[in-house]
Chain A
Amino acid sequence: MQTQRIRPLGNRPALLLGAAVLLSLIRLAVALELLPGWTYGLVAVLLAGATLEATVRALRTALLPGLGLLLIGVGLGYSFPIAVLLAPIGVGALYLAWTPYMSEREQAAFWGWLLVWPSVGLLLVWQIVPSLYALWLSLLDRFNFIGQSKFAGLLNYEILLTRDPLFWKAMGNTVWFVVFTVPIGILLATLVAILLNEKVRWQGVFRTLYFLPYITALTAAAAVWDWIYNPQFGFLNWLLGTPGLDWLSTPQGIFALALAPLGIKLQGFWAGPSVAFVAIMVMSLWHLLGYQVVVILAGLQNIPKEYYEAAQLDGASWWQQQRYITWPLLSPTTFFLATLGLIGAFQVFTQVLIMTPTGGVLQDTLTIALYLYNKGFRDSDFSYASAIAVVVFAVILVLTVVQQRVLERRVTYEA
């Protein structure tokens, strides 16, 4: 039961707060040229009136809270960047100001919306509307702030999909990234997790060692790997016994390199990822392995021990236990990691930028994210970059849905 509250200032402080925040929002809208400038002035006059009235009331009733609110109101009005955040408070305060006594249902509605509004507002402003805006941008012709951009229909998509070899290069690299890293990563992680799940000594030490790369920033990690891969002084060259070999800047695909001595010539996508890109994939595997191990370990610990005991009684070998108990019961976890790996592949950026800032020799390490960054922020072609983003969105959506449909039938959930 909500008891009636007595407010010395009536509802005016709340009203004032709400008005200040609304004012901020209107400033935001004016800045974005969504509203004409004079709206702002109008509301400013209204706010000044409200402020005056609140001040008079504050002086009459309770000086300090009134003054405090006045200061907050003024402060808010002049710092509109926070308006997006404070909008829910304003809306809530306004609501509270007009309806001070609420029934149970009204309370639920009020608090429900007040509590979800900040997140929903932010999601709307920074995610939902921008994605629609990206869709709109992709239909424009060379939008880059300067000059007039006109509606171009599907021109960007047409160029992207039919006349842009670099886009297909980046797509191909992303496909190779998924094909190479996702299965290998999950297999390696499962192996390590199964071993770590046994009673091994120094389990904590091992887990820490496997896990540390994941929390290490990719920027720093990529710098070290770049140093290890360095053509002149790199550790790897010493390890392979071939100092001075500039093998990282070989633009041919590894399949093409491997099959060339046999006289087989492979080209384009079928030549496989370049040596440099394989190097980046190895680094990415290293980075993510710890995360995968921890997630799989958690999955393993969710498998009831009775299954293994029963299997042992039936005389199942270690391998059979892994094959018929661990693997199927782990499939939801594996599925989760595969989906994550798929989406992650489209975001591979940091390590590529650090290790091959220009996308490598002949763009052989170009990834989708780097290509998007190049088009948008180096070439200032925002509409073309938006088209890339929309295509990526579509591809991820289709792949996830297909993956869900195909794999869900095979994924065994616990009975």
Chain B
Amino acid sequence: MKLEFRSVLARFLVYAVLSVGAVAMAFPFYWMLATSLKSPQEAQQTQPIWIPERLKPANWMAAARLGAQGGSALWGGYEAGRTVTLRIYTGVQGQKPRVSIPTALGAFSDPRAEGSLIRIRYAEGYWEISFTNASSESFRLLPVVVLLSKEYVGYRPELPPDAVRSSGDAWRLEWVNVAPGALGYIFHNYREAWSAAPFGRYFFNSFFTAGTQVLVGLLLAAMTAFALARIDFPGKGVVWLLILATLMIPGEVLLIPNYILLSRLGWINTYYALIVPWLASVFGIFLLRQFYLSLPNDLFDAARIDGASYWTQLVRLALPLSVPGLVTYGIFTFLGAYNALLWPLIVTDKPEMYTIQRGLQVFIGEAGSDYGALMAASTFSILPIVLGYFFAQKQFVQGIARSGIK
């Protein structure tokens, strides 16, 4: 299409409309990422926080320094025998801050931090609070609460607190982890979400399910499509009719009878239940048949004269020539299987058999108001597909485009 956009206004309009749309499309992703890096207090602010504290490089330095004292500069910790020193710059010496290590509530932090010695002293311009782990145990997190008198107006802690609340005549500064390390600081929510549920297992289940569905499904669809397109066998009409009939069945109709069949087989909570019912794909058969029909007849006649059996023709000729179709099918099947929620919801009720979407759905219920962890879990659940998209952008888009063309 070639159109003359002579006026600057028209071009401006094109970009304006596209940009506004793109911002609207991208905003939820930005919000997911931003929230996944926020502390609980930042996440629950009515006034939106555009750049969370945990994204500011100046804070990373402090986090790394404190993390190195407690364990490692990258992931922090609170190892046995280590001392972590936190400074709060106040400028003047006023009332002494009160410091405690709370027995952290909620599922996302290490409850025990006993055997800690807390020393508080004033040096020039700052209060120095040191925590010494006198026990023989190491802890992953070091949660800290400091009550700082409100007489300090311009205080500045070395590491910004995760929450600041008013508590009587004092500010209540809260850290979920005072010695986080640089990565432990930035990716705090990710780390906590990951350890709150067996997401590794969920990922494995999803990849295994989707991968098997793609590979086996591809082979089956290619075989069927090849036979339908290239072999004249008695009964072909009946098979084709059967496949056309299947096309009309909506997914809902299958949920209950398939569930009953699966439970009678004892397949609930197995990979079979997740994979087998969806192996045969009418979409794949249609797509690949179209491909095989478009290949020239001479090619197959020549192979036939050379003594190639139908199987050889399929494997050596048809499959390599239909790679675009196979990729399209693969992408659709993988997306469908990886993103599916309803089917895993029905056929699995044990956490070790959850797929990532099923696991995420449960996590959304359980995490409740911990939106940081929730958004972190959502982010890493979509990450594999998004990364896959960036690596194989062309195939993705062409595959989708191909789905709409008769």
Smallest CB gap from B272: residue in A: A81
Smallest CB gap from A401: residue in B: B248
Q: Is the beta-carbon distance between A137 and B405 smaller than 8 angstroms?
A: no
Q: Is A215 interfacial (CB-CB < 8 Å)? A: yes
* A227 partner, pick from B5, B17, B374, B389, beta carbons under 8 A: B374
* B256 partner, pick from A113, A129, A386, beta carbons under 8 A: A386
Q: Is the beta-carbon distance between A347 and B2 smaller than 8 angstroms?
A: no
* A111 partner, pick from B270, B279, B310, B341, beta carbons under 8 A: B310
* A298 partner, pick from B5, B242, B360, B404, beta carbons under 8 A: B404
Known contacts A123-B246, A227-B375, A386-B256; A298/B386 CB under 8 A: no
Q: Is the beta-carbon distance between B239 and A116 smaller than 8 angstroms?
A: yes
Q: Is A294 interfacial (CB-CB < 8 Å)? A: yes
| CA of A235 to CA of B279, assembled, Å | 41
| CA of A116 to CA of B385, assembled, Å | 31
Q: Is the beta-carbon distance between A120 and B242 smaller than 8 angstroms?
A: yes
Known contacts A131-B249, A308-B3; A233/B14 CB under 8 A: no
Classify chain B: how many residues form its interface, as a range. Answer: 35 or more
Number of A residues with CB within 8 Å of any CB on chain B: 119
CB A81 to nearest CB in B, in angstroms, measures 5
Q: Is A216 interfacial (CB-CB < 8 Å)? A: yes
Q: Is the beta-carbon distance between A128 and B375 smaller than 8 angstroms?
A: no
Q: Is the beta-carbon distance between A85 and B246 smaller than 8 angstroms?
A: no
Q: Is B26 interfacial (CB-CB < 8 Å)? A: yes
Q: Is the beta-carbon distance between B18 and A195 smaller than 8 angstroms?
A: yes
Smallest CB gap from B393: residue in A: A208
Q: Is the beta-carbon distance between A81 and B265 smaller than 8 angstroms?
A: yes
Q: Is the beta-carbon distance between B364 and A354 smaller than 8 angstroms?
A: yes
Chain A residues with CB under 8 A of B248: 397, 400
Q: Is A415 interfacial (CB-CB < 8 Å)? A: no
Of B54-62, B128-136, B220-228, B293-301, which binds chain A?
A: B220-228
- Complex interface bits, A186-227 against B, C-beta within 8 A gives 1, otherwise 0: 001001100111101000111111111111111111011101
Known contacts A130-B257, A217-B338, A238-B48; A299/B280 CB under 8 A: no
Chain B residues with CB under 8 A of A121: 280
| CA of A211 to CA of B331, assembled, Å | 14
Known contacts A223-B374, A299-B404; A115/B223 CB under 8 A: yes
Q: Is the beta-carbon distance between A392 and B223 smaller than 8 angstroms?
A: no
Of B65-73, B85-93, B230-238, which binds chain A?
A: B230-238
Which B residues are closer than 8 A to A by beta carbons?
1-5, 14-15, 17-18, 21-22, 24-26, 28-29, 31-32, 35, 43-48, 216, 220-221, 223-224, 226-228, 231-236, 239, 242-243, 245-246, 248-261, 263-267, 270, 272, 276-282, 285, 307, 309-311, 314, 335, 338-339, 341-342, 345-346, 356-357, 360-361, 364-365, 371, 374-375, 378-379, 381-382, 385-386, 389, 393, 396-397, 400-406
- Which 10 A-B residue pairs are closest in the complex by CB-CB distance? A112-B233, A295-B404, A122-B280, A298-B401, A130-B257, A115-B227, A220-B378, A111-B310, A119-B224, A133-B257
Which A residues are closer than 8 A to B by beta carbons?
1-3, 28, 31-32, 81, 84-85, 107-109, 111-113, 115-116, 118-124, 126-131, 133-134, 137, 145, 188, 191-192, 195-198, 200, 204-221, 223-225, 227-228, 232-233, 235, 237-238, 243-244, 286, 289-291, 294-295, 297-300, 302-303, 305, 308-309, 312, 318, 321, 332-333, 336-337, 343, 346-347, 349-350, 353-354, 357, 368-369, 372-373, 376-377, 382, 385-386, 388-390, 392-393, 396-397, 400
Known A-B contacts: A119-B223, A396-B250. Give 7 more (CB < 8 A).
A81-B272, A126-B280, A137-B256, A195-B17, A223-B374, A309-B2, A385-B255
